[in-house]
Amino acid sequence: MDELVVRTTVYAAPADVYEFLLDFPRYDRYSEYLDRVERLRGDGGPGTEYALRFAWWKLGYTARSAVTDVEKPTRIDWRVTKDIDAHGCWRIESTTVDPETADAAIKLPDDADPDAAAIDACEVSLEIRFDPDSASADAVDLPPLASFDWVLKKAIPLIKEEAERVVERAVADLEGSGRPVSLDVRVDSDRI
């Protein structure tokens, strides 16, 4: 099982971050290759199912995923339910940051005390685990002369870029403005 973890600090309250990340249909705004997200059933909690329409190169594919568990306000677990063994979670850990060492690019809320000893923040991680060898070759219609192995070899490295892009764009929305986001990226795979 290959693993990718993208982690960063978000200058927002953990409960607000949790509710924001639970609103999965907005993810199509963060991904270059995700065209749309349709909620098939549920309210965002366990058992909620989604159809995710991806487009890349000459390929289109609709993945199915489901929220498998939540621990409000610290964790949202999900699983892809067709064509590949993949699962992961969003993890949200409360923390405080010393204003003296906070990222200089952050914009403090208007009501923030500039002399406060700490700023409310949280560490947010997007964790993804997947087995590329479990991917179904029947899941996509391939153009002539394109093999499924070739498609996997080209697409798998894009997972890291996409995860980074999703986290950076979510941080901008959560904080209300864009800034250079420092990402801690851990990869346990020789394919990514």
Q: Distance between alpha carbon 149 and the CA centroid of its chain, in Å?
A: 25
pLDDT in tens, 110-166: 555 666 667 778 999 999 999 988 988 888 888 888 888 888 888 888 899 999 999
- Tell me, what CATH number does 162's domain have? 3.30.530.20
CA distances in angstroms from 104 to 71, 99, 100, 120, listed in the order given:
32, 9, 9, 15
End-to-end CA gap in the chain: 12
| Domains identified in the chain, total number | 1
8 A C-beta contact, residue 27 and residue 37 = yes
Range of the domain at 163: 2-188
How many other CB atoms are there within 10 angstroms of residue 8's CB atom? Answer: 20
Give the model confidence (pLDDT) of 162-181 as tens digits: 999 999 999 999 988 888 89
- The pair of structure tokens assigned to 58 is 């000459």
